[in-house]
Structure 1
Amino acid sequence: MRRSERKAVDPDIGVLTARLMFAVQGELFATLAGQGHPDLRPQHGAVLAYLDPEGSRATELARRSGQHKQVVGKVLDELEELGYVERRPDPSDRRAKLVVPTARGLDQMTRSDAILEAIERGYAEAVGADAYAAFKRMYREIVERQRARRKDAAG
């Protein structure tokens, strides 16, 4: 059996994760577009998914998302231009900047939460609430183990 055929029949965890991520992103951003946020793209999720409503530092967003600071900076520039975030002096350290969602950003965050809850509810209905809860627990454990391995390898 050719590798591509094997991957189609029995995809590995990387392929499955990518398929799920792209499917969820597709549904999320298509729904957001229909709800007044047509200018957002999946790459914006590297910031918006990790942004606290009261604001976050760019370095913290990079750490949470696992993205390089330069990538997060570029996404922040785009989101600021689109009116989703603004940079303000951090009240706890005037030398640092705090990335704060605007009213438009807060609306997107609220809508995203509701959309993702609906997506997950649909999965739970499809496979059963208990099975979905067990899947999510196991998947979270796998992700945490992988992150720990990556952190250990980085030294």
Structure 2
Amino acid sequence: MVTREQRNRLDPDLGVLAGRLLFAVQRELFATLAARGFDDLHPRHGAVLAYLDAGGVRATELSRLSGQHKQVIGTMIDELEGLGYVERRPDPADRRAKLISPTERGLSQMRAADQIMADLQERHADRVGHEAFAQFKAVLADVTEHQRSHPRPDAS
């Protein structure tokens, strides 16, 4: 019988591969951000930072885009606001709603993160070939979106 350790080493399933990729990307991204002066950020903040837009985004939209519960996003927004990366502003389209908008520090972080991610992707594209990397991303995006839109309930 094959153990989980053997299976994960020899033929990891989609969840294991996705987790390995996510954690490796997060480690590099947040270590590089820390080296550039953003050492107060943690990977958990990515649920907001990855989807933050310069013009602002509603918390409900951040929750939908990231797949995280509203309460989790609210906690991350509170933390990022306390750290000076975001602020809550009235939504011009609906004064009752709030937009989560980056501060100047938040915009600087966004530019740094965009450059780090571009460099990381370019490194992989150079390694495996630009066409193969583009195909990989397209297939990964398709599988991801299919999984997100077709969750299977536990059959047991």
The two structures have a TM-score, normalised by structure 1, of 0.95
Partner of 1:78: 79
Partner of 1:97: 98
Residue 34 of structure 2 is aligned to residue 33 of structure 1: yes
Structure 2 distance, partners of 1:105, 1:19, is 27
Deviation string 1:10-61 (CA, Å, 9 cap, x unpaired) is: 1111101100000000000000001110000001010011011010111111
Shift of 1:133: 0.9
Partner of 1:59: 60
Structure 1 distance, partners of 2:4, 2:90, is 52
Partner of 2:108: 107
Deviation string 1:34-92 (CA, Å, 9 cap, x unpaired) is: 11100000010100110110101111111111100000000000000000000111111
The two structures have a TM-score, normalised by structure 2, of 0.94
Mark the runs of 5 or more structure 2 residues left unpaired by the alignment.
Answer: none
Structure 1 distance, partners of 2:116, 2:147, is 27
Shift of 1:148: 1.5
Partner of 1:123: 124
Shift of 1:8: 1.3
| Number of aligned residues | 152
Structure 1 distance, partners of 2:145, 2:86, is 29
Mark the runs of 5 or more structure 1 residues left unpaired by the alignment.
Answer: none
Structure 1 distance, partners of 2:133, 2:97, is 41
Shift of 1:9: 1.2
SS at match of 2:87: strand
CA RMSD of aligned residues (A): 1.1
Shift of 1:6: 1.5
Partner of 2:133: 132
Give the 4+ runs in structure 1 shifted more than 4 A.
none
Shift of 1:98: 1.0
Shift of 1:3: 2.3
Percentage identity across aligned positions?
58
